[in-house]
Structure 1
Amino acid sequence: MTLRLLPLVGVLVLLCLPSSSRAAERPARIVVDPGHGGDQEGATSPTGLLEKDVSLQVARRVRDHLEEELGAQVLMTREEDQSLPLPERVEFSNKQRPDLFVSIHCNAMPTRRTRARVQGIETYFLSASASNATARAAADRENAEAPASRGGRGDSTLAFILHDLARTEAHQDSSRLAYAIHQKLIAATGSSDRGVLQAPFYVLNGVEAPAVLVEIGYISHPDEGGRLARAEYQERLATAITEGVRAFLAEVRRRDSPKPAKVAAPATP
């Protein structure tokens, strides 16, 4: 009788495990979002290199590394040079029920003086207010493609949603993911460390998973813009992002794995 019950007991134990523990047993599902596309070209380098092209090239490399090295299931918001509105990127991501979301962009400065001077990598996660003027400028530039009714990001409803979001585990994990990726990027590239920052990026708002936006460099800088065009440098970026994702997933799986039950010591006579 006992032997017949063993398979049933095993099934019951599996069903009682937390869903996060069962998720840890399957390949990670990751949405990679190449910024811009189609008639939305993004920023431009001094030699005419377009952000939309660099972001797609790097995103494809990230996808390949995630699949080959982590065995992840990777879904791209766009696979080619096509226009894709920001709301559709969020909607697509949530339909996939991903474990995390990574949006890839290149940064830029507006004036000749700042274009010649400013370079480096920034990694963002969502916040109702920007960390500083640089973060605000980056969000404003990337949000320029957002629907006009929500592009301003200043309404009280959004502020309330983001305030509530700050208390969720997904938002805390977004911070952890941002730091994990950023540290690997700086170590791998030697690029100027412009920090992990927070800003109200449209594409991060509403994603129902840990979500980050990576500005992989200033395409407007004469030297960094040139590096972003090179396959070898793109490979370094993609490998670093993959290693950051690997570190984040390992941390989450350790945290969410079932803890062994404590057994009371037998009472001494």
Structure 2
Amino acid sequence: MILIDAGHGGIDGGTSYGSILEKDITLGISRKLFLMLRSDGFGAILNRLGDYAPSDDNRWLRSSSRHMRDLAQRKELAETIQAAVVVSIHINWAPSPAKHGPLVLYRQEGRSFLLAQSLQEQLNRLYQTDALTRPGKPFYLLNKITAPTVIVEAGFISSPVDRAQLCSSKGQQRIAEAIADGIIAYLMEV
């Protein structure tokens, strides 16, 4: 089973540019990715179908921190469904509008690295970049989930070039296709 984690949601808008919110972009890309994978015959689950915080569904962690409940819900969902792969979709931001392109962060273990490499290759092709994957040491999901897990920063909302792609339905479709191709290539390898 492939778990697609649409980053942020509800009260947690993620990064932004004016009125453009990360949570809306991640949901758009994730929905398209989910439909693609399902139509290609892959088992896939999407962690949220609308604009709400996954912490609203939390049954696993009693904490006063909404953020920690949100992260725990994502982790426990991955463990409960025994995900073979977890792909968390996010959007990047930088102080310079010149910084652009995708970045895939991985859990520091071999399968996650291979998954990240496959995704980065497909996204680099789409964005015409040559970015390298990076270990994502400080991130909860990459430290707590046992399945191969990556965080896909699908582009920079602060970059006019990336923003044009991130905010259009066709651009989101191209990003979802690149991610799907990367997942499928990885699954064919392992």
Deviation at 1:229, TM superposition (A): 0.4
Aligned partners of 1:227, 1:245: CA distance in 2, in Å? Answer: 21
Listed as ranges, the matches of 1:203-242 within 5 Å are: 203-242=141-180
Would the aligned equivalents of 2:100 and 2:156 in 1 still touch at CA under 8 Å? yes
Partner of 1:55 in structure 2? 26
Taking only aligned residues, the RMSD between alpha carbons, in angstroms, comes to 1.2
Matched, 1:121 2:78: no
Partner of 1:187 in structure 2? 125
The correspondence for 2:85, drawn from 94, 97, 100, is 100
List structure 1 segments (4+ residues) > 6 angstroms apart after TM superposition: none
Deviation at 1:208, TM superposition (A): 2.0
TM-score, structure 1 as length reference:
0.62
Deviation at 1:186, TM superposition (A): 1.3
Aligned partners of 1:235, 1:105: CA distance in 2, in Å? Answer: 15
Aligned partners of 1:126, 1:52: CA distance in 2, in Å? Answer: 22
Would the aligned equivalents of 2:106 and 2:149 in 1 still touch at CA under 8 Å? yes
Partner of 1:247 in structure 2? 185
Alignment partner of 2:146: what SS? Answer: coil
TM-score, structure 2 as length reference:
0.87
Would the aligned equivalents of 1:101 and 1:209 in 2 still touch at CA under 8 Å? yes
The correspondence for 1:67, drawn from 34, 38, 43, is 38
Would the aligned equivalents of 2:106 and 2:136 in 1 still touch at CA under 8 Å? yes
Would the aligned equivalents of 1:63 and 1:74 in 2 still touch at CA under 8 Å? yes
Percent identical across equivalent pairs?
A: 32
For residues 207-232 of structure 1, the C-alpha deviation after alignment (integer angstroms, 9 at most, x for no partner) is: 12111110000011122112210111
Structure showing greater radius of gyration is 1
Listed as ranges, the matches of 1:1-269 within 5 Å are: 29-45=1-17, 47-69=18-40, 71-84=41-54, 85-109=70-94, 111=95, 114=96, 116-127=97-108, 171-190=109-128, 192-200=129-137, 201-252=139-190
Tell me the amino acid that sits aligned with residue 98 of structure 1. Answer: A
Matched residue count: 174
Alignment partner of 1:216: what SS? Answer: strand
| Structure having the larger proportion of residues in helix | 1
Deviation at 1:187, TM superposition (A): 1.1
Would the aligned equivalents of 1:121 and 1:195 in 2 still touch at CA under 8 Å? no
Which stretches in structure 2 are left out of the alignment for 5+ residues?
55-69
Tell me the amino acid that sits aligned with residue 106 of structure 2. Answer: F
Would the aligned equivalents of 1:121 and 1:193 in 2 still touch at CA under 8 Å? no
Partner of 2:63 in structure 1? none
Alignment partner of 2:131: what SS? Answer: strand
Partner of 2:59 in structure 1? none
Would the aligned equivalents of 2:9 and 2:53 in 1 still touch at CA under 8 Å? yes
Which stretches in structure 1 are left out of the alignment for 5+ residues?
1-28, 128-170, 253-269
Deviation at 1:48, TM superposition (A): 2.1
Alignment partner of 1:41: what SS? Answer: coil
